[in-house]
Structure 1
Amino acid sequence: MRSLPARLLTTTALVASVFTSSPLHAQRAPSGQPVGPVDPRRSQTQKPPLHGKHWMAITGKPLGATAGAMMFQKGGNAVDAAAAMLAATCTMWDTLHCGGETQALVYHPKLKKVIGINALGVAPTGATADYYRSKGYANPPEFGPLAAVTPGTPGGLMVMLAEYGTLSLRDVLGPAIQMADGFAIEAQLANTIERQKTWIKQWKYAPAIMLPHLGSEREAPEPGEIFVQKDLAATFRKLVATEQAALKAGKSRKQAIMAAYDRFYKGDIAAELVRGMREDGGLFTMADLANWKVKIEEPMCTNYKGIDVCKLQQWQQGPVMLQALNILEHADLKAMEYNSPKYVHTVYQAMNLAFADRDFYYGDPAFAPEEPMTGLLSKAYAKARFNGIDWTKNDPSIKPGDPYPFQGGTNPFTQYLAQWDNKKFLPRDTTKQSGQQDRPVRADTTLGDPFTAQLRESFHGGTTSIEAADSAGWVVSITPSGGWVPAVIAGRTGIGLSQRAQSFVTRPEDGPFNVIEPGKRPRVTLTPTMALKNGEPFLAFAVQGGDTQDQNLLQFFLNMVEFGMTVQQAVEAPNINSYQLRNSFGFHETQPGLMEIATSMPEASRAALRAMGYTLRPLERTSGPINAIWFDRKHRTMWGGSSNHGEDHGIAW
C-alpha cells in the first residue's frame, strides 16, 4: 500500500479492507454515552477506500457503477462512463428517472478548465404564479403533473456525450437498455414503490409499470423480482436507431447523437411525452420541449486557502457553499477542533447566513433582474457577514444580507428584504392543505417518529451523485435528480417526470428571483462540486439530500482540508445539519435552531449546544451519501470515497 502525502493522517485500519459494525468508535461510559470527542482520523471506516490508477466510477447503485466500468473497458473516457451511469441509474429510479434534471461539472484536461452543464428543465407554458394560486396552491405541489418541469436528463446526457465523450450513444445506452428490459430490483426501491402506491394509482400510465401485482396485498415488485420497463427500453432503442441511421447517412458522431436529441425533444418521442403528460393533467406543449436547450456554462469559483472550489451558477444552490467557505475563512477552524461545540456553532451560523442569502437572491440568471452574485461571492461581503455572528448563542432571526453595496449597486428589493419573516414558514400542524397535493416537513425531533424516518430514508437511502475520472485527466461530477418515486409516467414513453417545480415560489416577497414563470428554471438544490489545486483536479464530490447537500459537502471538504482526513474517512465522518433555512420542497418550511447531530456526539458537547439555543435531533449517520474522488498527485493515482448511507458503490482499475 502506498503512503499518503504527509499532510494527511494515515491509519492502518483505513487502508486495510476492514468493515466494522459502526463507522466511529468513541470511549463510552457504562451508560453507553460517549464520554470523549469522536475523531474519525483514529477510527476504522465501515467501507474501504477505492484505489485506481487508470479510472474510477462511483455512483449510488452497484449496477450503475458497473455500467460505468463497462464504458471504461470499451476504451471510453470519464464522460462516457458518467453518461452510462446516469442512464443506468435512471432505469433504477435511484431517486431520479429520465424525465428529471442533470447538473454536471466536467474537467477538460486539454483546456485545463472546469465546464458547467445546465440540463435543468423549465416551467411549461401556462405555469404562472396566478395559475397555481387559482388552483389553491401556495406554491407548486410536491407530486403530480403540475409539479413537473420539462425533462432535462436526456438532453444533458446527449449533449455531454456529444461534446466531450468518445463512444456512441448505442454504447452508452447499452447497459440501460438491458436494465430496462429487466433487472433484479433491490429491496430499497421495491419497498419505496409499495409505500407510495396510493400516489402511483392516481396517474394513468404509472401503475402498469410500477405495480405489477395490482390487486394483491403487495402490489409493488418483490425484492429480487425482475423489474421490466418495456416502454422505456423502446424509447432508448428509438434514440439509438436514430443515431445509427444518421451515422449510416454520413453524419459525424456528434451530429448523429444530436439527431437522437432532436427526436426526443422535437419528434415522435416528444409528441407521445406531451400527449401522455397532458392526459394526466400536465401543461407541457411541443413548443416547450423544442425550445428548451442544454446550457454549457462557466462555473462559479472561490479560493479557499489555495484551493479553487467550483460550483454551477445560481440557478442551483451551489454558490451557497462558496459563500460559506468565504465566511469561514475568517475563523481558525483547525484550532477549534473537529466537531467541538465552538466549531459546530461556527459552521452552523456560517451556513445559516449563506442559506438566508440563497433563499432570497438565487434564481434563474436567464431572467431579469440579474442576481447579485458578484456581491454575494465577494470576500468583503463574507467578512461583513462573519462579523455579524453571535458567538454566544444561535440566532434564529438571521435574514438575508444586502450584497449590492459590495458590487457598486443598489438593491431593487429592499421592501421585500425588510418584510422577510421566517415565522411565516414555521412548521404546520396539519398534514394537508386545501388544494395542495403534498405534505409538509414536520418539525418532529423524536427518533421514533415514522414520518421523520421516512423522510430521512427518502433523502439519504439512495444517491444520485455520479463521479468519474480517468488517467487522461477527464473528471466528471454530476448530481442528477427528479422523477423519483412516486412520479407521473408520460404516456408510452416510460419516462418518469420531474417534480422540481415545487422549488419555485409564487410571491416575490418569498424570493423575488425565484417566482415561477413559463420557460424559467427553478432554483434547485442539486450541486456537484469540483476543486482544483495548482490548476489540477484535487477533488470531485457530490451528495444527495435536498437542502442538506451543500451542508454535507462543505463539512466533507473541511474534513479533508482542515482536519487531514482521508477521502473515505471524510465521507463517513459525522456532520451537523441545519434546517434554519426555507425548505426547497413541500411547504418551504423553516425550523430555526434545529440541528441534526450524530448519536456519537458526547453529552458534554450536546449540553453546550443546547445551552446555546439549539434543538438537537440525534441520528446514527449525518454525513449524507457523499461520493468523492481525491487525486493523489504524488503517486498519480486516484482515491475514491463512497458513503456508508445506502447502496453507493464504486469500481476502479
Structure 2
Amino acid sequence: MKHLYATLLLLLVLPIVQGQDRLTGETFTTRSEILARNGMAATSQPLATQIAVDILKKGGSAMDAAIAANAMLGLVEPASCGIGGDIFAIVWSAEDQKLYGFNGSGRSPQSLSIDYFIEKEMNYVPFYGPLPVSVPGCVDGWFQLHQKFGKLPMETLLAPAIDYGREGFPVSEVIAYEMGSNYEDLKDQPGFAETYMPKGRPPQKGEVFRNPDLAATYEKIAKKGRDAFYKGAIAKTIDNYMKKHGGFLSYDDLAKHKSNWVEPVSINYRGVEVWELPPNGQGTAALQMLNLLEGFDIASMGFGSPEYLHVLTEAKKLAYEDRAKFYADPEFNTIPIEALLSEAYTSERKALIQMDAAADTYPAGDMEIETGNTTYLTVADKEGNMVSLIQSIYSEFASGMVPDGLGFVLQNRGQMFNVQDKSHANALEPGKRPFHTIIPAFITKDGMPWVSFGLMGGAVQPQGHAQIVVNLVDFGMNLQEAGDAPRMRHRGSSQPTGSTMTNGGTLNLETGFHPETLRELRKKGHRIGFGVGMYGGYQAIGVDWTQKVYAGASESRKDGQASGY
C-alpha cells in the first residue's frame, strides 16, 4: 500500500515537474538570446567578444570589431586559428545594401608539385611538418577587408591583443582541452614547444599564458602594414625558417600572395535566401543539402525524428559525393555551381533517396565540365553593417611549425590536396588553392539581413549549416535554440578528395536524441556512432528590423559569448 501511494503521488507530481524544467525555450537550450540595439558580437572566447564590443563603442565598424576579435582569438585560441592561416568572410554593407564575399585563402608553394609525392610514393600530404604548409592569407585579408569596410586605424584594432599577449590571459576550458589534445605529435616540430609549452606541457584551464613573440609580430603588422608580413621582416623570417627545415614555402610565394573578392552564391529555402561562398570552399554543399531537403515536409516530421534524421543524412551523402568530385580552386577548374544547384539536378538526385533504407553508396553527379580546427565570429554595428567571418589554421595546431620568434603556427591546409591523381580537380599544382573546409554563412529575408552565422568544425560545417537553417525555418527555433539543439554528423571516408562513404559511413548522433530514434535509424540501415567535440561550434547574430534590435547567440559547446550594447 505504501508503494502504491508513492506511485500515485509521483504520477500526480510528474506532469508539474516536467512542465517546470525551463521558464522559456526548448529543454536543450542553455540560455536566452542576447538582445541589444547598437551593436552585437559573438565569438568563441569571451575576451575576444568583449574586445569587439569595446571597438564598437569606440565608433569602430563591424569589420573593425571583427578584425580586433580575430587577432585576439589568434592569441587565446591558438590551436584553432591565427595569422598563419586563412580567412573568409561574407559582409553586409548597409550603405550599399548588398552582400560582399571574400576569399582570403593562400596558395601552394610554386616549387612544390604533385610529382614530389608520386616519386616518394606518398599517397597523402602529411598533417605535420613543412609539406602541408601553404601561404597564410589571414593578414592580407584583414587589410583588404579593413580598407573597404574599416574606420579605425589598425594600430587601435590590434592593441588589445598586443597587450594581452604581453601581460597574459587565463586559458579557458575548451581551449585548454584543444591545446592539450595532440601536443605529443607536435612538440618536436621546430619552435612549437618554446611557444606553446613554456612549462614543458600545454597550459591548463585557468593558467595564465603569455605569447610576447606574437605580440611583437602584431606590433610590426600594426605599424608597417600588410607588407611587413608578406614582404618585410616577417616574410624573411618565414623564408629562412622553411629553408632551414626542408620546407617549400618561400619569400616569393608570400610576396606574390593576393586575396579575392567573390560573389556569394545562394538558394531560396522556403522563402529565405541562404548565402555561402563558392569553391574552393565547401559552402555549396550546404546549399545542395537544403535544396534536397526542401522537397520533403520536414516540419511535419518533427525535430529529432528518425524520418528527419534519415532524410538529412541521405541529403548529406549525396551532396558530399559532389563535394569530393567537383569542389576545388576555380582558377584551375571550371566548377558547375549553377548546374549543381539547379532544380532539375536536385530533382534527379532527390529521386535516389529511399525513405526506408540508408544507402551504402551514391554516385557523384555526372555533368559536362571543362577539365582543368577553425574559429568563427560575427559582428554587427549600429549602422546595420554585419560581418560573418571564419578563420583557421586547419587542424589543431596545424603543421606545428612555428617560425623563429614570431609566435604563431603555420597552417597545414595543403594537406587537403589530392596527390594521387593528377586529373582530379583538387590535385596539387604549384600556386593552387586547396579545397577548403571553412565557410561563413548568411541568411537574408525580403532582401535584408536576417541571420549572420557560422559553425566551425571541418567537414561538419555544411551539415551544421543545413541543420541551423532547418532549425530556424522549419522548426521555428530562436537563434540560441537553433545552435544548442543536438546535432548529427555523418562521417564517411576521412579523405576529402575521395568518396565520402564506405558501406554507408557512420551517423554520429549527439546526446539528446531519443533512444527510440536511434533504434529506428538502425532499422533503416544506419550505422550509429558517437563522438566527443565533433559537432562544431556555432555563433550567430539575427536582426529584427521592425524593432531595430539585434539578437546574439553563442552555443555551449565552446567557451564563447555573445554580447551587445
Is the shorter-chain TM-score for this pair beyond 0.5, marking a shared fold? yes
8 A contact 1:359–1:582 mirrored in 2: no
> Equivalent residues in 2 for 1:328-367 (5 A)?
328-367=293-332
What's the CA shift string for 1:12-65, capped at 9, x where partnerless? xxxxxxxxxxxxxxx9xx9xxx9xxxxx95426213311111100111111111
Q: How far 1:100 sits from its partner (Å)?
A: 0.6
The aligned residue for residue 5 of structure 2 is none
The aligned residue for residue 158 of structure 2 is 173
The aligned residue for residue 111 of structure 1 is 96
8 A contact 2:438–2:461 mirrored in 1: yes
| Aligned match for 1:376, one of 323, 326, 340 | 340
Distance in 1 (CA, whole Å) between partners of 2:330 and 2:357 is 36
- CA change 1:591–1:276 in 2 (3 A) is farther
Root mean square deviation of aligned Cα: 2.5
8 A contact 2:388–2:442 mirrored in 1: yes
8 A contact 1:273–1:490 mirrored in 2: yes
Q: How far 1:372 sits from its partner (Å)?
A: 1.3
8 A contact 2:375–2:391 mirrored in 1: yes
Q: How far 1:101 sits from its partner (Å)?
A: 0.8
The aligned residue for residue 70 of structure 1 is 54
8 A contact 2:455–2:461 mirrored in 1: yes
The aligned residue for residue 399 of structure 1 is 363
Q: How far 1:599 sits from its partner (Å)?
A: 3.1
The aligned residue for residue 130 of structure 1 is 115
Distance in 2 (CA, whole Å) between partners of 1:319 and 1:587 is 17
Distance in 2 (CA, whole Å) between partners of 1:65 and 1:230 is 21
Q: How far 1:212 sits from its partner (Å)?
A: 1.3
8 A contact 1:94–1:464 mirrored in 2: no
| Aligned match for 1:89, one of 56, 73, 76 | 73
8 A contact 1:68–1:82 mirrored in 2: yes
Q: How far 1:598 sits from its partner (Å)?
A: 3.1
Distance in 1 (CA, whole Å) between partners of 2:493 and 2:444 is 29
What's the CA shift string for 1:109-143, capped at 9, x where partnerless? 11111111111111112221111233342121112
8 A contact 1:191–1:220 mirrored in 2: no
The aligned residue for residue 205 of structure 2 is 223
What's the CA shift string for 1:219-251, capped at 9, x where partnerless? 333433332222211111112222xxxxxxxxx
The aligned residue for residue 130 of structure 2 is 145
Give the aligned residue type for 1:57: A
Give the aligned residue type for 2:363: K
Secondary structure in structure 2 of the residue aligned to 1:82: helix
> Equivalent residues in 2 for 1:408-419 (5 A)?
410-411=368-369
- CA change 1:44–1:382 in 2 (3 A) is closer
- CA change 1:271–1:101 in 2 (3 A) is same
1:158 paired with 2:143, answer yes
Q: How far 1:547 sits from its partner (Å)?
A: 0.4
The aligned residue for residue 386 of structure 2 is 475
Q: How far 1:288 sits from its partner (Å)?
A: 0.5
Give the aligned residue type for 2:436: V
8 A contact 1:100–1:481 mirrored in 2: yes
1:532 paired with 2:444, answer yes
The aligned residue for residue 184 of structure 1 is 170
What's the CA shift string for 1:458-497, capped at 9, x where partnerless? x6xxx61101112211110111110642621122222310
Give the aligned residue type for 1:385: R
Give the aligned residue type for 1:501: G
Percent identity reads 30
Secondary structure in structure 2 of the residue aligned to 1:542: strand
Q: How far 1:627 sits from its partner (Å)?
A: 0.8
1:596 paired with 2:560, answer no
Secondary structure in structure 1 of the residue aligned to 2:148: helix
Give the aligned residue type for 2:109: P
Distance in 2 (CA, whole Å) between partners of 1:167 and 1:120 is 25
8 A contact 2:329–2:432 mirrored in 1: yes
- CA change 1:183–1:291 in 2 (3 A) is same
1:551 paired with 2:463, answer yes
- CA change 1:641–1:508 in 2 (3 A) is same
Q: How far 1:210 sits from its partner (Å)?
A: 1.4
Q: How far 1:394 sits from its partner (Å)?
A: 0.7
1:635 paired with 2:547, answer yes
Distance in 1 (CA, whole Å) between partners of 2:158 and 2:45 is 17
Give the aligned residue type for 2:87: T
Distance in 2 (CA, whole Å) between partners of 1:228 and 1:603 is 45
What's the CA shift string for 1:388-431, capped at 9, x where partnerless? 212221111112112x3xxxxx3467xxxxxxxxxxxxxxxxxx
Give the aligned residue type for 2:128: F
The aligned residue for residue 443 of structure 1 is none
Give the aligned residue type for 1:516: L
Secondary structure in structure 2 of the residue aligned to 1:358: helix
Distance in 2 (CA, whole Å) between partners of 1:559 and 1:582 is 27
8 A contact 2:360–2:502 mirrored in 1: no
Q: How far 1:331 sits from its partner (Å)?
A: 1.2
Secondary structure in structure 2 of the residue aligned to 1:472: coil
8 A contact 2:380–2:386 mirrored in 1: yes
8 A contact 2:335–2:369 mirrored in 1: no
Give the aligned residue type for 1:235: T
State how many pairs are aligned. Answer: 541
Distance in 1 (CA, whole Å) between partners of 2:535 and 2:220 is 40
Flag structure 1 segments of 5+ consecutive residues without an equivalent: 1-26, 35-39, 243-259, 405-409, 414-458
Q: How far 1:281 sits from its partner (Å)?
A: 2.3
Q: How far 1:618 sits from its partner (Å)?
A: 4.0
Give the aligned residue type for 1:69: V
The aligned residue for residue 204 of structure 1 is 190
- CA change 1:587–1:362 in 2 (3 A) is closer
8 A contact 1:55–1:471 mirrored in 2: yes
What's the CA shift string for 1:420-458, capped at 9, x where partnerless? xxxxxxxxxxxxxxxxxxxxxxxxxxxxxxxxxxxxxxx
8 A contact 1:88–1:176 mirrored in 2: yes
Distance in 2 (CA, whole Å) between partners of 1:560 and 1:316 is 24
The aligned residue for residue 233 of structure 2 is 268
Q: How far 1:623 sits from its partner (Å)?
A: 5.2
8 A contact 1:356–1:398 mirrored in 2: yes
Select between 125-134 and 608-617 the one with higher mean Cα deviation: 125-134
The aligned residue for residue 508 of structure 1 is 421
The aligned residue for residue 323 of structure 1 is 288
